[in-house]
C-alpha cells in the first residue's frame, strides 16, 4: 500500500547473503531520487519491506553503481566462491585474525600460507562473507578486514 492505495512494486535487485539474510535494492538516478513524490513513496516502501516482508530495501544511486567499486569487488570475489577450504585451518586463521589489530587481506593470506594452504583461501573467506570489508572501496591485499560475527 502506497498512499492508501494497493500497488504493485518490484525492486531492482535481491541480495542474498552467505548467512541467508536478504536485502532488496532499488537503483535510481539522482534526479528521480530527489523528487518529493519518490521520497515519500520510498519511505513507505522501506516501512513495508521491513515490517511485512521482513527484509530491508535500500536506495542506491545509479552513479554509485557506475563508480564500479562494488561491481569490481563482486567480479573479483566471484572466482573465489568455490575455493575448497579446510574448516580446521579456517577456524585457526579466524581465531588468529580476531587477535590482530587491523588485519589486512595480505596478513590473512600469510596466515593461510604459514599453515600450508594457498593464499587464495583468504580471498575465499571474503567471498563467502566470513571476513567483512568496506565494500565502498576497491578491495586490495592492503584492505583491512574483520571477522564476521
In angstroms, the Cα distances linking 132 to 47, 81, 87, 98, 117 are 27, 15, 18, 12, 21
pLDDT in tens, 29-59: 999 999 999 999 899 999 989 998 999 999 9
What range defines the domain where residue 27 resides? 13-66
Q: Are residues 77 and 143 in the same domain?
A: yes
Say if 35 falls within a structural domain.
Answer: yes
Q: Are residues 93 and 33 in the same domain?
A: no
C-beta separation of 89 from 112 below 8 A: yes
pLDDT in tens, 107-140: 999 999 999 999 999 999 999 999 999 988 889 9
pTM comes to: 0.59
Q: Are residues 84 and 118 in the same domain?
A: yes
Q: With bands split at pLDDT 50, 70 and 90, how would you rate the model's confidence at 67?
A: low
Amino acid at each position: 500500500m502506497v498512499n492508501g492505495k494497493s500497488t504493485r512494486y518490484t525492486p531492482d535487485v535481491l541480495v542474498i547473503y552467505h548467512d541467508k539474510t536478504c536485502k532488496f535494492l532499488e537503483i535510481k538516478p539522482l534526479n528521480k531520487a530527489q523528487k518529493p513524490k519518490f521520497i515519500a513513496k520510498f519511505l513507505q516502501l522501506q516501512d513495508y519491506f521491513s515490517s511485512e516482508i521482513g527484509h530491508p530495501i535500500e536506495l542506491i544511486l545509479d552513479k554509485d553503481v557506475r563508480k564500479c567499486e562494488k561491481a569490481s569487488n563482486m567480479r573479483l570475489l566471484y572466482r573465489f566462491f568455490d575455493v575448497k577450504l579446510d574448516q580446521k585451518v579456517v577456524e585457526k586463521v579466524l581465531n588468529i585474525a580476531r587477535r590482530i589489530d587491523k588485519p589486512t587481506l595480505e596478513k590473512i593470506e600469510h596466515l593461510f600460507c604459514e599453515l600450508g594452504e594457498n593464499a587464495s583461501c583468504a580471498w575465499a573467506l571474503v567471498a563467502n562473507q566470513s571476513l567483512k570489508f568496506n565494500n565502498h572501496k576497491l578491495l586490495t591485499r592492503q584492505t583491512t578486514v574483520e571477522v564476521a560475527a
